[in-house]
Each structure stands twice: as structure tokens, then as C-alpha cells.
Amino acid sequence: MKHHILKPFQFIMSLLFRLYFYSLVVPIVINNVALADITLSATLKDAQIELGESTQLSVTVNGATDASRPILPSVEGLQFISRGQNTQMQYINGKFSSTITFIYMLTPEKAGNYTIPPIQLESGGKIIESEALRLEVKDLSNSGLGNSNSGSQALGTLGQTTPFPDPERENSSAFLRIIIPKTTLYVGESVPVEIRAYFAEALRVSLNGTPTLTGGFFTLQDSKEEPRETHEVFSARSYTVLSWNSLLSAVKEGKLPLIAQLKATMLLRERPRLPNNSMFNNPFFDNDLFNFNEDILDNFFGSVREKSVNLKSPEQNLSVEALPQDGRPEIFDGAVGDFSMKIYSNTRNVEVGDPLTLNVKIAGVGNFDRVVKYSLTKYERWKIYSPAVKFKPLDNRGFHGEKVFEQVLIPQDPEIKELPVPIFAFFDPNKKEYKLLQGDPIPITVSETTASKQRSLVPQGAIEENSADTPIPKKHETSLA
């Protein structure tokens, strides 16, 4: 936040003008607006959210210069947290209007469809009401890993094990939280996490890097994206919240502590001690009308010092299990998650020695960094080359996505009737078992041709590989648990 410096003369003139303006206008506003009809309305910023997220509730009073706080209904499963109020007055064509907006943060405790009854306000001995509101809260944690959708969603789509922060218990203007949807995981399993840094809005902060994990028990996926900035209020104190979405993975088994840390530099303003009879100590100058006052005092009479801090999240103990040995297929290469496989080819009719491309798409959720290869059934009458690999993330973590392998194959015999069949093995952490995916054979026609042209038709850079693998039972999906 940048501070604007006013010269002393400008400050005094600005102050006198505002005092003069208020002395003339406020009585007129009160007299005019008091006669207007008072109405009450309520709106939700988002009518559909996911468990772990919050939405803003705005309750607006039109036609009053002053109003008591609205009477909020009690709704089981919903938490209302006040974020303050705004007052706006306008003078247009000789008429005054006034609007008071009360702002609340609405946080659900469980999924479901909520109806918020009309909000009430007492005015002039009468009760006025707003319209009822509806809120839909979804919980994707019960539908398995395969339901992770938008990359811009907060971690609330997967549930939350960390309670909301309470600054009164934190006793700090800055603190860190790491939110993880589960406390039991497997070695090598990728788990979506969200790291949130809370800074009191009065602070000026410079980050010295991105969040990291301590202890060396877990790895955190590097993220080049800027943190998402939001604003939250706890215990009547406003915070700027910076959020990073990432993937966490355990490197060893055991009961392991999870702690995130973030280094930052805070600019702390040291204000001078003013005399008790100073006009700036009067609560009147806390009004938004005089919000320039603090900046002026700081720049003229105060100073700023830097303080380096290393924020750490509260320790969470995670239980990490090793992948089971029982039922582990020989072709398993470390993929953990929930995946599907689709195969297709660009052609069905070729000549001996002509290259064709086998496309294998593996989609789902999990540790795509370990989805590095699949196996092909053994065909001695084929030449097989290493595939080109393309990954398309479907969220901002790379947890939900699809990886496409484009593999060049060259038939060596006109008697070949079908393409080699790809086999992919992974471990499903939800069902706690290994699974095999096997594609359907794709029929092709291979005709005779002259030798010597196969090398000239192989794509540049393709590397021939050995395709010998262990035969696999021919089933679309085989559970090995």
C-alpha cells in the first residue's frame, strides 16, 4: 500500500473544507432522508459454493442515514461473521439518498441446500424484511478423486481438515495455514493442498519467495502462478489472504509432521507519541472521511522499519503408508490415483515397413509425474519406437488432467491383423488396490510392399525400443487386490 504525502498547508485546507461541508450538508441529509421510505434487501455474492469456501452476504438498507444492525436468522450449518458496514450518501438534482450496507462472511459447516429466511430490521417501531435467499453447498470429497474440476477452485472442493483460523488465538498480525483434505496417504500419492497466508490489512508486506515444507518428509510441487488474493474477517479484524494451490507428496512412510513455512518482510510503521490533548487523538478522526490522517502523520512524524519473519503453520501429523507389495503387478511404475485409458490410431491400412501412430490417452486424477509409460503385449513382428508425450492439465495443480502418448509402430509382416494392445497399471488409494487398464485390440490390414522404405518414413527423432513385456490377462480392467 502506497502512502500519499500532503503538504501541511494542503492538509489544513482539506481538513477545514471537509468540516465545513459536513456542517452544512449533514443536517440537510438527515432531514430529507428521514422522510424517505426505508427498504431492506439481501444478496449473496455466490449462490453456489463448495464445502470449505465462503461467500459474501450483503444486507442493504435504503432510505436511512442510520440503522440498527439487521436481525439475522439462525440457520443450522451456516456461520455468519460480520465484516463491517458501508454508508453511502448522494445528492442528485436537489434530492438526497442514503444507503447502508452490512457485510457478512457466510461459511457453511456441511454440504446441502440451504434456505436463508428473510432478514429483519427494526425501523420506526416497525419490522421490515428482505426476501429469502437460497445457497447450494457442494461436497466433492465423498465422490472420490475423479471429481476434481476447475483449476480456480479452492481446496474446499476436496474437504478440509484444518479449522478456520482464529486471530485471537493466533495473537499475531500474520500467520500461515496449510489445508489438506486427508490425513492418511500413501508414499508417492499426490494430494491437493492449499496454503494460506493471513496478513492484517494494515500491514505492508513483501514476500521473500513461495511457501515451502519443513523436515524433508514431503515434497511440494513448484508453482509459477501468482497467489490468489482474497479478504476475510475474523473477530472483527480484516485480513488480506494470499493462497497457493499445489500438490503434496510423501517421500517416506510413518507418522510424519507437516509444517509449511513462508518468509516475508513486513514494513512496520512507528508512529510518534502524540500529546493527550492532540486533536488527532479524538475518535472523531477515525471516520473514513479523514482516512488520510494516518498517512500524513506517518510520513511527516513517523518512521518505517523492516522486520523479517518466517511464518510457520501449526504442525499436523499425517499417517503415511507404504504401497502394498501384495498384488503389485510387474509393470507397475508408481502411478497412484484414479485413471482411465483410451486408445486409437490414425490409420487402419498400411504396407509392411510403413509407420503408423498408436495414440494412448490416460486421463483422471493422481500423480501424473509418475504416469510415464505403459506396456505393450509382445509382438515380435513389430518395430516399436519410444512415444512422444503431451500432458494437458485440467486444473491449476496438474492433479486432474490427461496425458497422451503418440507412439510410432512399424509392421514387419503382412500376416499382422491387429495393433499391439497397451496395458497400464496403477494403484487406487480410495479402494486400496492395484488396477490394470487394457485397451481393446484395433484391427488393421497390412499388405506387402518393397523393403528399404521403412527408415525413410520413420519420424525424425524416434528411438527404437525393446517391447518385450510380461503377458497380461486380456481384460479391460483387472483388480489385483
Check which CATH number belongs to the domain holding 427 and give it: 2.60.40
Looking at the structure, tell me whether residues 317 and 332 fall in a common domain.
Answer: no
- Residue 44 is assigned to a structural domain of this protein: yes
Does residue 144 belong to any structural domain of this protein?
no
Our CA dihedral for 350, 354, 355, 358, rounded to 10 degrees, sits at 20
Between residues 370 and 464, which one has the greater pLDDT? 370
pLDDT band at 273 (very low <50, low <70, confident <90, very high): low
Do residues 271 and 156 both lie within one domain?
yes
Q: Cα–Cα distance between 57 and 79 in angstroms, integer? A: 11
Structure pTM?
A: 0.57
Structural contact between residues 404 and 411, judged by C-beta atoms closer than 8 angstroms: no
Among 363, 358, 402, CA closest to 376: 358
Would you call 147 helix, strand, or coil by DSSP? helix
CA distance 316 to 259: 7
Separation CA 96–CA 90 (nearest Å) = 6
68 and 181 both lie in a single domain: no
**380 domain-assigned:** yes
pLDDT digits (tens, 9 = 90+) for 308-348: 889 999 999 999 999 999 999 999 999 999 999 999 998 88
Does 262 reside within a domain?
Answer: yes
Same domain, 314 and 358: no
Burial class (CB in 10 A: 0-12, 13-18, 19+), 305: exposed
Q: Does residue 213 have a pLDDT over 70?
A: yes
Amino acid letter, 357: T
Residue 145 located in a structural domain: no
Position 226 in a domain:
yes
Q: Could you tell me the pLDDT band of residue 79, with boundaries at 50, 70 and 90?
A: confident
Look at residue 331 in the predicted model and tell me its pLDDT. 93
Domain range enclosing 280 = 151-322
Quick one: DSSP state of residue 418? B
Helix 8-33 / helix 292-301 crossing angle, nearest 10 deg: 160
The last residue of a domain, from among 322, 344, 371: 322
Domain annotation covers residue 146: no
For residues 309 and 337, membership in a common domain is answered with no
Residue 459 confidence (pLDDT): 54
Domain final residue pick, 139, 159, 174 = 139
Same domain, 39 and 110: yes
Q: Which residues contact 13 (CB under 8 A, 6 or more apart)?
A: none
In angstroms, how far is CA 129 from the centroid of its own chain?
Answer: 36
Q: If you average pLDDT over residues 66-76, what whole number do you get?
A: 84
From 98-107, 284-293, 400-409, the region with the lowest mean pLDDT: 284-293
**Do 201 and 235 have their domain in common?**
yes
Mean pLDDT of 34-45: 78
pLDDT at 431: 94
Q: Which of 366, 311, 320, 319 is nearest to 341 (CA)?
A: 366
Q: Among 11-25, 199-213, 258-272, 358-372, which stretch is predicted with the lowest mean pLDDT? A: 11-25
Number of domains in the chain: 3
With b meaning 16 or more CB within 10 Å and e meaning fewer, what string describes 336-351?
A: bbbbebebeeeeeebb
Task: Give the pLDDT score at 143.
Answer: 42
Query: 42 phi and psi, to 5 degrees?
Result: -140, 140
Domain boundary among 285, 300, 322: 322
The answer to whether residues 13 and 113 belong to one domain is: yes
Same domain? For 63 and 173 the reply is no
More confident residue, 92 or 55: 55
Q: Are 161 and 303 in the same domain? A: yes
178 pLDDT band, cuts 50/70/90, is: very high
Same domain as 456, residue 333: yes
Q: Verify that 349 and 314 share a domain, yes or no.
A: no
233 located within any domain: yes
